[in-house]
Amino acid sequence: MTGTTVLLLDAAGPESAALARAAAARGHQVHAATAAERPAPAPNLAGRVVTDFARPDRAVEDITAYARRRGVEAVLTANEYLTETAALVCAELGLPGNDPHLAHAARDKAAMASVLTAAGVHVPCTRLVHDDAELHDALTDPVVGSPCVIKPIGGAGSAGVTVVTSPAQAAAAADTAREARSRYDRGATGVLVQAYAAGAEYSVESVTQEGVTTHLAVTRKAVTGGVRRVETGHSLPARVPPATETALHRQVGAAIRAVGIRHGASHTEVVIAPDGRCTVLEIAARLGAGHIGILLQHALGIDIFAALVDVALGRPAALAPTAHGHATVRFVTAPCAGRLTSVAGFPKPGPGVPFVRWRAAIGSPVKAAGVNADRLGAFVVTGPDAAEVEQRAELLARQIHVRVDAATPELCEPDQLNSASRPDIAP
Ligand SMILES: Nc1ncnc2c1ncn2[C@@H]1O[C@H](COP(=O)(O)OP(=O)(O)OP(=O)(O)O)[C@@H](O)[C@H]1O
Ligand SMILES: [Mg+2]
């Protein structure tokens, strides 16, 4: 059963590249739909169609026409911004995909809050505001409370998200959220004001096939504090008390159904309060980014990329763990904004360190972490024992020295060494 044709929407990110590799390794012909400004990494692509994803109707037409010509049998994406387009294309072509009528609710966080609330999922109170009067109204709403979070409607990677602790910060935070709108959701108007959910951050990685969901793992996250929140580490599988896990799976299952995920991955971000109460921050109809796919592979032996290709083809996917280890990814961030002058001690791949990725060139401008895209690099540590893996990751992180010629030296840590990426992720 090889030789089928698979189409990826966007093939440029690491998860997309891994999907392309997995599909090619299974003998499939891999094609991609790409934006002109984001060319696909060419190696294993059999062909591509260039389209403008910012014009979704047009993109769906271009992609379905191309897919029909090429006899495409599966369409999938790892790109957060394209999950609705993927659902619409699958529906047009009659391929396994998510509910095209609900798919926008996994992209538009205002619609998401409505459908999740209606489905009985606990979410932070979310207000959509369009002007200063509505912003003021939301800030004084006792259900929103303080602190609160101001964010774009359809953002990703923490872009434009601000934790606001005083009303004086709100107008600037709303501007930041507005400016962060991506080229894919220019149509969205307004920004969101959301109640702050206090607690520890987790995500649940799930795969749904024919409407039946398998929860693969719970992931513990480390996130920077302060006004801008950036994920600095993920670890899985995270252990939570059985009652909490049951509640978590119930909430996440309801969220998956509510946003119409029927065939494919989902990544649901959740805050667990000290009393065990779960709040769903958001759900995405795609595999978790931040190398979570690699963690699943190394900790649990699940080839998630191959599995997702099978799911998209409507074939049974191998989702059962074949290993029972632990894996963590740590992200390296700059101590302050400036020009990157040197990096020392960044780990090399080897036993127990299956993956490393450095993105920032020496001499290039860097920023202190404000959004996920500011992260400079990442490394994965894996092994059979959770505590040992976390300790090793901790040790490796401490050996990394990032030096920056600071734009504003007083904002830099005294020794200009990297201090982030040392998250406290309890196994
Ligand atoms: N309502 C909230 N309560 C508490 N923290 C929040 C809330 N909303 C956002 N945050 C914090 O801000 C981070 C980024 O927010 P959010 O996940 O909504 O943005 P995003 O752009 O979708 O990011 P990503 O794509 O990385 O998931 C969260 O991981 C969390 O740390
Ligand atoms: Mg998020």
Report the pLDDT averaged over residues 103-130. Answer: 97
Report the pLDDT averaged over residues 204-223. Answer: 97
Is the pLDDT at 125 greater than 70? The verdict is yes
pLDDT 10s digits, 295-333: 999 999 999 999 999 999 999 999 999 999 999 999 999
Distance 10 CA to ligand 2 centre (A): 20
Residue 223 beta carbon below 6 angstroms from any ligand 1 atom: yes
Domains of the chain: 5-95 (3.40.50.20), 125-195 (3.30.1490.20), 197-313 (3.30.470.20), 326-411 (3.30.470.20)
Distance 344 CA to ligand 2 centre (A): 30
Distance from C-alpha of 291 to C-alpha of 367, rounded to nearest angstrom = 21
Residue 124 beta carbon below 6 angstroms from any ligand 1 atom: yes
| Atom number of ligand 1 nearest to Cα 152 | 21
| Atom number of ligand 1 nearest to Cα 267 | 27
Q: Could you tell me whether strands 5-9 and 29-35 are parallel, antiparallel, or unpaired per DSSP bridges?
A: parallel
| Atom number of ligand 1 nearest to Cα 197 | 3
| Atom number of ligand 1 nearest to Cα 223 | 31
Is the pLDDT at 183 greater than 90? The verdict is no
For residues 235 and 228, the answer to whether their CB atoms sit within 8 Å is: no
Residue to substitute in 116, 117, 123, 149 for testing ligand 1 pocket (most ligand atoms within 8 angstroms of CB): 149
Q: Quick one: which of 183, 272, 256, 259 has its CA closest to 220? A: 272
Distance from C-alpha of 208 to C-alpha of 355, rounded to nearest angstrom = 27
Q: Which range, of 63-67, 278-282, 284-288, 335-339, averages the lowest pLDDT?
A: 335-339
pLDDT, position 186: 60
Is the pLDDT at 184 greater than 80? The verdict is no
pLDDT, position 420: 41
Residue to substitute in 219, 221, 280, 281 for testing ligand 1 pocket (most ligand atoms within 8 angstroms of CB): 281
Distance 352 CA to ligand 1 centre (A): 30
pLDDT, position 11: 87
- Distance between start and end Cα atoms, the chain: 41
Q: Which ligand is nearest to the CA of 164?
A: 1
pLDDT, position 116: 98
Look over the chain and give the mean of its residue pLDDT values, rounded to a whole number. 92
pLDDT, position 427: 43
Report the pLDDT averaged over residues 27-37. Answer: 92
Q: Which ligand is nearest to the CA of 149?
A: 1
Is the pLDDT at 372 greater than 90? The verdict is no
Angle formed by the axes of helices 292-300 and 304-313, nearest 10°: 110
Report the pLDDT averaged over residues 322-347. Answer: 96
Residue 269 beta carbon below 6 angstroms from any ligand 1 atom: yes
Q: Which ligand is nearest to the CA of 181?
A: 1
Q: Quick one: which of 217, 204, 223, 253 has its CA closest to 157? A: 223
Q: Is the dihedral of CA 274, 277, 283, 287 positive or negative?
A: positive
Q: Which ligand is nearest to the CA of 194?
A: 1
Residue 157 beta carbon below 6 angstroms from any ligand 1 atom: yes
Q: Quick one: which of 91, 316, 86, 85 has its CA closest to 207? A: 316
Residue to substitute in 125, 126, 146, 229 for testing ligand 1 pocket (most ligand atoms within 8 angstroms of CB): 229
pLDDT, position 42: 54
Q: Confidence band (pLDDT; 50, 70, 90) for 414?
A: very low
Residue 155 beta carbon below 6 angstroms from any ligand 1 atom: yes
Residue to substitute in 141, 150, 151 for testing ligand 1 pocket (most ligand atoms within 8 angstroms of CB): 151
Report the pLDDT averaged over residues 380-406. Answer: 96
